[in-house]
Amino acid sequence: MRGQLSIFCVGLGMSLLLVANPGLCETPSNSAQDLDLSPEVIKKSPVLQRWRREVPNVLEEIQNDPSFRTKVRLGYSGEQGGGIIFGVEDVFIGRSGLTVGAEYESAFNGKYESYGGNLYYYLRPLGSYVNFAPLLGYQNLRTNDYSTDGVNVGIKLLLVLSRGGAADISVTQSWVSAGSEEEVGLTAAAIGYAITRNLRLSTGFKQQTSRQYQDSSVGVVLQWMP
């Protein structure tokens, strides 16, 4: 127990020291390399072994470690009297700011169907609490009143309330077939909050605006974070 407490105290102390002095993250010192600890304590701690080899840049890791996670989505949509939603959100492409998402939605009465996929590029470091992502993709929409399909272009705003997918707010605005007679504007807002480490519940609002009609709906989605 004492050994574990020593490891925790040393790790916490070094983390606070590095955050208060960012320069230490960039140029490891001899004192950081040669810790005055027993070999048994160091042997039991992979963290201390790593820090002896090279002191990591803690601030850089915090900034680039994603504050949000990939999500597989399944839920209920209030569109046209009720329907189903299925999709994936923010599948990361490497360690870049690029992610991919796709979604399918259909009303139980067959009067509404929507499917498509988008590529997002987050402009700020992935660890940021506020981020913006231009999006580009394809969307197909069909209702009893209108139908359209084509290029989907827009922007997404992400507000991370708690890192690691515990809670966030997203707002997305995009346009399908922008500039054409069949143009449809898509507005979506959602709040997601974790109920376990890997499961979240998301509630959202969506509005579709064409030149002749405007539809809106709410939905509840269960999200699994691998």
Which of 20, 47, 64 is a domain's end point? 64
Query: What pLDDT does residue 43 have?
Result: 72
Same domain assignment for residues 60 and 163? no
How does pLDDT run across 115-130, given as a tens digit for each residue?
A: 999 999 999 999 999 9
Number of domains comprising the chain: 2
**Integer angstrom CA distances of residue 157 from 7, 85, 170, 186:** 40, 21, 6, 14
pLDDT at 218: 94
The predicted structure's pLDDT at residue 56:
66
pLDDT at 224: 98
For residue 174, give the CATH number of its domain: 2.40.160.40
Both 84 and 169 in one domain: the answer is: yes
Q: 217 and 161 in one domain?
A: yes
pLDDT value of residue 4: 44
The domain boundary residue, chosen from 27, 49, 64? 64
| Same domain flag for 59 and 76 | no
Q: How far is the C-alpha of 201 from the C-alpha of 139, rounded, in Å?
A: 25
Question: Both 97 and 26 in a single domain?
Answer: no
Q: What is the pLDDT of residue 94?
A: 87
Mean pLDDT (10-residue bins), the chain, 226 residues: 44 45 45 60 72 68 84 92 94 93 95 96 95 98 90 98 95 95 95 96 94 89 97
Residue 86 domain boundaries: 71-224
Q: How far apart are CA 111 and CA 100, in angstroms?
A: 28
DSSP 42-59: HHT-HHHHHHHH----HH
Q: Are residues 108 and 137 in the same domain?
A: yes
Enter the DSSP assignment of 164. Answer: G
